[in-house]
A and B are shown apart, each in its own frame.
Chain A
Amino acid sequence: MMGKRVNRLLWCVVTGLLVGLLVSFAGGSGMTAENVVKIGNIEPLSGPSAAVGLQGKNAREMAVEEINAAGGIKSLGGAKLVLIYADSESKPEKGVAEAERLINTEKVNVLTGCWNSAVTLPTTAVAERYGIPFIVPVSVNDKITEQGFKNVFRIAAKDSWWTRDQFVFLKDMEKEFNVKVKTVAFVYENGDWGKGFAGQWKELAKKGGYEVVLDEPYPSTSTDLSPVVQKIKRAEPDVLLLVSNAADAILLTNTLADYKVKLKAIIGSGGGHADPSFLKATGQNARYIFDLVEWETDVNKPGAKETNEKFKKRYGYNLAGESVDAYVAMYVLADALERAGSLEPAKIRKALAETNLTKGPGMIVAYNAVQFDKTGQNEHAALVMVQINDIGHGMERLTVWPKGARHAGYTPVFPMPQK
C-alpha cells in the first residue's frame, strides 16, 4: 500500500526534477543583465581534485569582486564581471560537455580552466572551434599551447620550463655551496603530469651529467608508500625529484621521515607539495624540502602580502602558485576587456594577444609582465624555488631562487643536515 503512494511520489519527484531542471537549463541565458561580462570557469569541484578546484574558485571570486568594486570595465560602461562555474569532475568528457554548454547556452564571453591538463586539452579544442577566448591559468602540459590554436592563452609556465628550472637550480646550488651532486632519483605520480616531467628529467639528467639511480612511477592513490620509500633509501641518491599530488605528497614526506632516508636535497614540483594542507599534515617532516612553484607568499612584490592576508582571512589558507595564477588571470582579462572595449570574441582575443600587463593589483606574481607569445604562452612566466624551513615563525615556505628573489636575510640550507 505504502509502496504505491511512494511510487507515485517517486514519479512526481523525478518528473518534477527533470522538468524543473530542463526549464532552468533552457532559460539559463535568459537572465542577461545588459552590462555584464560572463566568464565561464571549468574546474574540478568534486572528485579527487576538488580541493584545488576550490582554491581556484576562491581566487577568482576575490579578484572579480575587487575588479567590480573598482568600477568594473569602464570601456564597457562599467560592466561587471560575472563568474559562472562548471564542475568538470576532473573528467575530460564532462569538461567538453560543460564547455559546449557554457558557450552555447550560457553564452559566456570567455572561458577559463581546467586545472587537470587532461581536461584542458580537449576543452580548449572546443573553445577554438567556436572562437571563444580561453585563458588557462594553471595547466602546465606543453601541448596546450602547441596545438596551433589562436584562442588559447596560458598564464602558467610550460612544464618543460619547470623541469629546466629544477635542474638549473640544482647546478646553482652546487656552485653556491660547493657541493657535488652525482646521483638523482625520480619518483613521480603515474598520471600524465608525472610521466611528462619524468620524460624531460631523463634528458636533463643526461645533459647535466647526473646518474639516474631510480626512476619510479607510483600510483597517486596508493594506500602505502613505504615500498617506494624503501626503494629510494636503498638506491641512495643524492637528490630526489618528486611530482606528487597532495595526498601522496603528504604520505611520501611522512614516510621518508619515518624511515630516516638520508638525502642531500628533495625537490618538489609544486602541485601536492604546494597544497595548503601539506604543511599542516607534515609539520617537521617537511623541513628543508625545496619546491618549485609559480609564486610564494614572501615574494618581493608590492601588494603581495596584503592580498595574501586578505585571502587568508577570507578563506583560511594562503594563496599558492595556482590560486595566484587564477587571480592574475582575472586581472589580465579585465585589462584586455578595457582595451577591447567590446564583447566580440575576436576583439577580446586580439586584446588578449596584445597584453602587456606590468602593473595593477593583479601583478603580485613573481615576474614583471604578462605577455603572450604567438602560441598564447605567457613568455615571462617564471618560477621560484622555495625551501620549507622554520626561522622562528613556524614552518613556512621561503623563496630561495632565483637569487634575486631570495627571501631577505635567509640562506638556503643545502645539503640537508643529516638528522
Chain B
Amino acid sequence: MKQERLQVLSLLPVVVIAFGLPLVLRSPTYLHIIILLYFYAYLTTSWNLVGGFAGVLPLGHAAFVGIGAYTSTVLSLQYGISPWLGMIIGGVLATIVGIIIGLPTFKMRGAYFALATIAFAEGFRVIVENIDYLGPFNLNGPRGLEISPLNVGLTNLMFNSKEPYYYIILVMLGGVLALTYLISRSKLGYYLQAGGEEPEAAMSLGVNVARCKLIAMAMSSFLTALAGTFYAQFTLYIHPKSVISLDLSFEIAFIALIGGRGSIAGPILGALLLRPVSDLSRIYFGSTLPGLHLVIFGIVLILVMIYQPRGLQEPLTRAYHKLLERLAVRPAVGV
C-alpha cells in the first residue's frame, strides 16, 4: 500500500475518536478540559502560520483573541447581533490590526519583533482597561463584560451542555489544520519557509518575502480572533486581564515552540502534552504547594528546549514515518 494512502488511512481512527468522544465520555469536566485543549491547539496552530511558517516570534497574539472576544460580545450585548456574525467582523478587524502591526514590524530583527508584539499587546490591554466607552461601544474597562446564558441556541452560539461547544471547536480545529496543510504544500508555504530562513536569498530569487509574511499574519490574526469569540461564548465572561493577557500570548507561543513550530503536528502535540501538565499539576499541587505547577512547567520548558529544540514533534514524526515506511514495504508479502 502506498505510503500516502497509509497516511490518510492513519488519520481515520483519529477523526473517528475525535468525533465520537462525547458519545463515550459523558463527564462535563473532562469535556470542558478537552474543549479548552482544542481551543489552545487551535490558537497555537493559527499562531504557527506566522510564528512557524514565517519564522518570526510573535508574543502578542492574545491581542487578537481580545479583539475577537470584545467585538462579538459588544455587538451581541449592545446591538443583539448574532455572535457568528460578530465573529466574522471581529476576524476582519483583527486582520486589519494584524496587517497594521505587521507592516512596520516584519522589517525588524527577531528579538525586536518579539518585543514589538509584546508592546502592542500590552498597550492594547492598557487601553481597554482604562476606557469604559469606545465611541458608542461599552467596553466596561476592567469590570469586564458578562454574557447571560439566556438565549440558548445555535444562532446565538449559546448552549447549556458542553457537547455543541465541543463540536464547534473541533470543526474549527480541523479547519485550521487543513488550512495549514494546504498552505504548507502551496507556493505561499515554500516562499514563507524560504523567507524565514534566508530572506536575502529568497528575495534575490524574486520572492516578495514581506508580502508573504503579511498574508500569513493576516490569516493568523483572523483565525485567532475567531477563537476569541468562541472563548467569550464558552466562558461567558471576558475582561482585559484574561483575554488580552501576556500570559496567554506567551503560553500560545511556548506550546507551539515546544511542540515544534513550523510543522503541522507540532502545535497540537504541544497543546496535547503541555496543557494537561500545567492543568493537572495545578490541580494536584495547587493547594498544597502553590506555584509548584509553574515550577514544573518551567522545568519542562527548559528541558525540552535543551534536548529537543525543534520541538517534541520531531522524534514522533520520525517514528511515525518510519512506521509507515515499514508498513508500506509489505505489499510484496501478502496484501
Alpha-carbon distance between A54 and B235 when the two chains are bound, in angstroms? 26
Residue of A with least CB distance to B160: A129
Q: Which of B283, B284, B294, B296 has the most CB of A within 10 A?
A: B283
Alpha-carbon distance between A54 and B144 when the two chains are bound, in angstroms? 26
Q: Is A168 an interface residue (CB 8 A)?
A: no
Assess whether A10 is in contact with B235, with CB atoms less than 8 Å apart.
no
Contact with B along A78-121 (1 / 0, CB 8 A): 00000011110101111011101101110000000000001001
Assess whether B290 is in contact with A45, with CB atoms less than 8 Å apart.
yes
Q: Is B276 an interface residue (CB 8 A)?
A: yes
When distances are taken between beta carbons in the complex, the residues of chain B under 8 Å from A93 are 36, 235, 242
Q: Is B163 an interface residue (CB 8 A)?
A: no
Known A3-B307, A10-B307, A92-B242: A97·B33 in contact at CB below 8 Å: yes
Residue of B with least CB distance to A118: B239
Residue of A with least CB distance to B273: A14
Contact with A along B278-291 (1 / 0, CB 8 A): 01111110110011
When distances are taken between beta carbons in the complex, the residues of chain A under 8 Å from B279 are 97
Assess whether B27 is in contact with A105, with CB atoms less than 8 Å apart.
yes
When distances are taken between beta carbons in the complex, the residues of chain B under 8 Å from A94 are 282
Interface size for B (C-beta < 8 A) is 44
Q: Is A174 an interface residue (CB 8 A)?
A: no
The residue from A14, A46, A96, A103 contacting B235, defined by CB atoms under 8 A apart: A96
When distances are taken between beta carbons in the complex, the residues of chain A under 8 Å from B36 are 93, 97
Assess whether A87 is in contact with B32, with CB atoms less than 8 Å apart.
no
Q: Is B172 an interface residue (CB 8 A)?
A: no
Assess whether B143 is in contact with A86, with CB atoms less than 8 Å apart.
no
Segment at the interface with B among A16-24, A206-214, A347-355: A16-24
Summarize B's interface: helix, strand, loop or mixed: helix
Q: Is B277 an interface residue (CB 8 A)?
A: yes
Minimum C-beta distance from A198 to chain B (A)? 11
Residue of B with least CB distance to A94: B282
8 A Cβ contacts from B6-57 to A: 27-29, 32-33, 36
Assess whether A121 is in contact with B286, with CB atoms less than 8 Å apart.
no
The residue from B28, B129, B315 contacting A104, defined by CB atoms under 8 A apart: B28
Q: Which of B36, B282, B296 has the most CB of A within 10 A?
A: B282
Q: How many A-B residue pairs have CB under 8 A?
A: 119
Alpha-carbon distance between A45 and B292 when the two chains are bound, in angstroms? 11
Alpha-carbon distance between A195 and B241 when the two chains are bound, in angstroms? 15
Minimum C-beta distance from A20 to chain B (A)? 9
Alpha-carbon distance between A50 and B236 when the two chains are bound, in angstroms? 25
When distances are taken between beta carbons in the complex, the residues of chain A under 8 Å from B239 are 92, 118, 192
When distances are taken between beta carbons in the complex, the residues of chain A under 8 Å from B273 are 14, 18
Residue of A with least CB distance to B237: A122
Assess whether A22 is in contact with B235, with CB atoms less than 8 Å apart.
no
The residue from A18, A45, A89, A122 contacting B236, defined by CB atoms under 8 A apart: A122
Assess whether B294 is in contact with A17, with CB atoms less than 8 Å apart.
no
Residue of B with least CB distance to A123: B237
When distances are taken between beta carbons in the complex, the residues of chain A under 8 Å from B236 are 122, 125
Q: Is A7 an interface residue (CB 8 A)?
A: yes
Q: Is A6 an interface residue (CB 8 A)?
A: yes
Alpha-carbon distance between A25 and B27 when the two chains are bound, in angstroms? 13
Q: Is B303 an interface residue (CB 8 A)?
A: yes
Q: Is A191 an interface residue (CB 8 A)?
A: yes
Assess whether B276 is in contact with A7, with CB atoms less than 8 Å apart.
no
Alpha-carbon distance between A190 and B142 when the two chains are bound, in angstroms? 7
Minimum C-beta distance from A163 to chain B (A)? 15
Alpha-carbon distance between A398 and B138 when the two chains are bound, in angstroms? 42
8 A Cβ contacts from B240-296 to A: 241-242, 273, 276-277, 279-284, 286-287, 290-291, 293-294, 296
Summarize A's interface: helix, strand, loop or mixed: helix
Contact with B along A1-45 (1 / 0, CB 8 A): 001001100100010011001101100000000000000000001
Minimum C-beta distance from A295 to chain B (A)? 25
Q: Is B308 an interface residue (CB 8 A)?
A: yes
Q: Is B149 an interface residue (CB 8 A)?
A: yes
Assess whether A192 is in contact with B142, with CB atoms less than 8 Å apart.
yes
Known A87-B282, A195-B141: A45·B28 in contact at CB below 8 Å: no
Known A122-B236, A190-B142, A191-B142: A87·B29 in contact at CB below 8 Å: no
Alpha-carbon distance between A92 and B33 when the two chains are bound, in angstroms? 15
When distances are taken between beta carbons in the complex, the residues of chain B under 8 Å from A7 are 307-308, 315
Assess whether A21 is in contact with B280, with CB atoms less than 8 Å apart.
yes
Alpha-carbon distance between A14 and B141 when the two chains are bound, in angstroms? 40
Known A45-B286, A93-B242: A21·B281 in contact at CB below 8 Å: yes
Minimum C-beta distance from A143 to chain B (A)? 8
Assess whether B284 is in contact with A21, with CB atoms less than 8 Å apart.
yes
Q: Which of A45, A84, A91, A103 has the most CB of B within 10 A?
A: A45
Known A122-B236, A192-B144: A85·B307 in contact at CB below 8 Å: no
Alpha-carbon distance between A96 and B279 when the two chains are bound, in angstroms? 13
8 A Cβ contacts from A41-93 to B: 45-46, 50, 53-54, 57, 84-87, 89, 91-93
When distances are taken between beta carbons in the complex, the residues of chain B under 8 Å from A283 are none
Residue of B with least CB distance to A88: B286
Q: Is A196 an interface residue (CB 8 A)?
A: yes
When distances are taken between beta carbons in the complex, the residues of chain A under 8 Å from B141 are 190, 192, 195
Assess whether B307 is in contact with A100, with CB atoms less than 8 Å apart.
no
Minimum C-beta distance from B289 to chain A (A)? 9
Known A18-B273, A50-B290: A86·B283 in contact at CB below 8 Å: yes
Assess whether A85 is in contact with B287, with CB atoms less than 8 Å apart.
yes
Alpha-carbon distance between A18 and B269 when the two chains are bound, in angstroms? 14
8 A Cβ contacts from B146-177 to A: 146, 148-149, 160
Minimum C-beta distance from B234 to chain A (A)? 9
Assess whether A121 is in contact with B283, with CB atoms less than 8 Å apart.
no
Residue of A with least CB distance to B150: A148
Q: Is B304 an interface residue (CB 8 A)?
A: yes
Alpha-carbon distance between A17 and B274 when the two chains are bound, in angstroms? 11
8 A Cβ contacts from B73-114 to A: none
Minimum C-beta distance from A107 to chain B (A)? 10
Q: Which of B149, B281, B290, B296 has the most CB of A within 10 A?
A: B290
6 residue pairs bridging A and B, Cβ less than 8 Å apart? A21-B280, A46-B293, A94-B282, A101-B29, A118-B241, A129-B149
Residues of B within 8 A of A (CB): 27-29, 32-33, 36, 129-130, 141-144, 146, 148-149, 160, 235-237, 239, 241-242, 273, 276-277, 279-284, 286-287, 290-291, 293-294, 296, 300, 303-304, 307-308, 315
Would you list the 10 A-B pairs with minimal beta carbon distance, nearest first? A87-B286, A85-B287, A21-B280, A104-B29, A122-B237, A45-B290, A192-B143, A46-B290, A46-B291, A100-B32
Taking A3-B307, A85-B286, A91-B242 as given, write out 15 further A-B residue pairs in contact, using a Cβ cutoff of 8 Å, ordered by the A residue number.
Answer: A10-B308, A14-B277, A21-B280, A45-B287, A50-B291, A53-B290, A54-B290, A57-B287, A84-B287, A86-B287, A87-B282, A93-B36, A96-B235, A104-B28, A105-B29
